[in-house]
Amino acid sequence: MPQFTQIADRLATLEIEVPSWAYGNSGTRFKVFAQPGTPRTVQEKIADAAQVHKASGLAPAVALHIPWDKVDDYDGLTAFAADHGVRIGTINSNTFQDEDYKLGSLCNINAATRKKAVQHNLDCIDIMTATGSRDLKIWLADGTNYPGQDDIRSRQDRLAESLAEIYAGLGPDQRLVLEYKFFEPSFYTTDVPDWGTSLLHCLALGPKAYVCLDTGHHAPGTNIEFIVAQLLRQKRLGSFDFNSRFYADDDLIVGAADPFQLFRILYEVVRGGGLESPDVTLMLDQCHNIEPHIQGQLRSVLNVQEMLAKALLVDCDALAEAQAAGDVLGANGIFMDAFYTDVRADLADWRESRGLPRDPIATFIASGYQKGIEAERVGGQQAGWN
């Protein structure tokens, strides 16, 4: 097995985008729990996200959601982010909250509704240009609840046409990243339910279209690392939305439910060249319902870092020999040895050697930042689902 010192440089390449919406109030369809100090503006979200990067060194980019994070001055917002040591990352469009989208957005049978949804995404591309962002991420709530409600094939045709219009609006260095989700909020059919559907549309669009894999968007028992391997083989894995789930799209802290799954996924990212590839963006997509927002994001990025370190410790040469020899248990043992290696002390030393806190969460708590924003952010409308 490689020594930790042998993986230190590769570990330093890890960058994780954090989502602006993770710092707002969130919850379930039953209740949204407000927390003191919650941001009221996108600037306050970015300031909170900057604390995650300051403590961990892992989160230099903040993804925005439009229109939740819409402002009049994007040059000013970009400068504000830079002043706080971070940059604007992926721009996420939103075509799932307007009344017009009740029966779909890009797939809607109504041409005027489709035009509105397309224009929203084109407006997001303008924001990308203003902020220097590369990726437009599209997630659709489009689908149907009842057999016969709409024609399944026609909806795919409409989707292809709508996506083509959006794709044509991309700049030369910009990309479209198409997310998928196998159910919810539609329960009979979902228009982009799986990685295959997303990939087919991306292949039809062209080389600037990639698949986004959300780790919570799969049926129970799905082998997500297999999907990772396939998309990396095709050079069409554009981004991850890391989170964790017990039952469905729970959006919990990544690694909370199944750290071994996170390890397996990251091993395939390393194996497929995704760690150093500029084409693959690692990002969080989480909603902290009851835990403190900033600490929740810190725990998430640190969990990714820990499992990546373990994945880098897999003895690939010994593993390949065991696989070639048909040594089933030997190969599995090599894999498991890396997973069970305790790297926490090594990571603390690694952080300290780079001028970062040995314990990022404890350091953040001791900084008094949270108490400060709770005292300062009084009045106004807190960001959140409600």
pLDDT digits (tens, 9 = 90+) for 261-300: 999 999 999 999 999 999 999 999 998 999 999 999 999 9
Residue 36 has pLDDT above 90, yes or no: yes
Surface-to-core class of residue 20, CB atoms within 10 Å of its CB (0-12 exposed, 13-18 middle, 19+ buried)? buried
Predicted local confidence at residue 29, as pLDDT: 79
**Short-list 322, 233, 281, CA closest to 136:** 281
Q: In sequence order, which ranges of the chain are alpha helices (DSSP H)?
A: 4-11, 42-56, 74-83, 111-131, 152-168, 195-205, 224-233, 259-271, 293-312, 316-324, 328-340, 344-353, 360-367, 369-376
pLDDT band at 99 (very low <50, low <70, confident <90, very high): very high
Tokens of 167: 């794709």
Residue 386 has pLDDT above 60, yes or no: no
* Amino acid at residue number 9: D
Give the position of tokens 């045709």: 157
Is there a contact between 163 and 208 (Cβ–Cβ < 8 Å)?
A: no
> Could you tell me the CA-to-CA distances from 94 to 123, 130, 209 in Å, in that order?
11, 18, 18
Residue 118 has pLDDT above 70, yes or no: yes
Residue 132 has pLDDT above 70, yes or no: yes
Predicted local confidence at residue 27, as pLDDT: 86
**Mean per-residue pLDDT for 29-53?**
95
Task: Kindly state the percentage of the chain with pLDDT values over 90.
Answer: 97
> How far, in Å, CA of 10 to CA of 318, rounded?
20
**Mean per-residue pLDDT for 372-379?**
96
**Mean per-residue pLDDT for 311-322?**
98
pLDDT (tens digit per residue) in 167-217: 999 999 999 999 999 999 999 999 999 999 999 999 999 999 999 999 999
**Short-list 249, 229, 246, 242, CA closest to 186:** 249
Q: What is the mean pLDDT of the chain?
A: 97
> How far, in Å, CA of 138 to CA of 337, rounded?
39
What are the DSSP calls for 247-259, one per residue?
SSS--BPTTSS-H
Residue 385 has pLDDT above 90, yes or no: no
- The domain ranges of the chain are 14-313+359-376
pLDDT (tens digit per residue) in 217-254: 999 999 999 999 999 999 999 999 999 999 999 999 99
Class of 14-313+359-376 in CATH: alpha beta
What are the DSSP calls for 223-235, one per residue?
-HHHHHHHHHHTT
Is there a contact between 187 and 248 (Cβ–Cβ < 8 Å)?
A: no
pTM: 0.97
